[in-house]
Amino acid sequence: MSEIGKRLATWRGELDLSQAAFAAQISIHLGQLKKYEQGVTTPGGEALAAIASTGVNLNWLLTGQGLMRAPQQAQALPAEMAAAGDIARAVADLPEAANAPKKNVLPPHLKHLEHRLYALVGLLDQMPDAEADALVAEFGSRAHTLQQLAELRSTVQQLRSAKGGKRA
């Protein structure tokens, strides 16, 4: 059994799920999960993203380093609510579209989004508070998901590079 497979089985045990229940939860075939846990195959990017959705710390799963549970899962608020709160605070701090900022509010690499963000703030201002809050929460959740996927891709690339370096 590979180390990743052992850690995956440990995580599944932590969740108190059978292999069948865990496979169903992450939408993979039971046989594939068994292969992962036995070390026959290693989960790819899509499988890792699905596994990450259960709250495991991918750094721990892939390397054995860090805590088993993902940091956002250890917080009192769910990760998407925390991310939505960060986005809501950032949007609230943006000046209204009619008032051009006196200083650079956005980092240079995001400057091309400035007009869209101000237009978004204008639209949010015209909505009832509950709808605006829901939209900002959805945006924050999506941004958080994309951030996690980017981190996952980076980790997978690092593992591939390390694996390739061992062959040489």
Topology (CATH level 3) of domain 3-74: 434 Repressor (Amino-terminal Domain) (1.10.260)
From the list 60, 87, 69, 76, the residue with the least C-alpha distance to 147 is 87
- In this predicted model, what pLDDT tens digit does every residue of 106-122 receive, in sequence order? 677 777 777 777 677 77
Task: Give the other-Cβ count within 10 Å of 21's Cβ.
Answer: 12
Mean pLDDT along residues 19-25 = 93
* Higher per-residue pLDDT: 138 or 86: 138
What's the helix, strand, coil split of the chain in %, to 5? 70, 0, 30
Residue 15 pLDDT: 92
pTM equals: 0.47
Tokens 């899962």, residue? 73
On whether the CB atoms of residues 4 and 42 are closer than 8 A, the answer is yes
CB neighbour burial string for 70-80, b if at least 16 within 10 angstroms, e if fewer: bebeeeeeebb
CA distance 60 to 38: 18
- In this predicted model, what pLDDT tens digit does every residue of 78-104 receive, in sequence order? 444 444 445 545 544 444 444 444 455
Confidence of residue 20 (pLDDT cuts 50, 70, 90): very high
Residue 74 pLDDT: 40
Residues 6+ apart with CB under 8 A from 57: 66, 67, 68, 69, 70, 71
Which residue type, as a one-letter code, is found at position 31? Answer: G
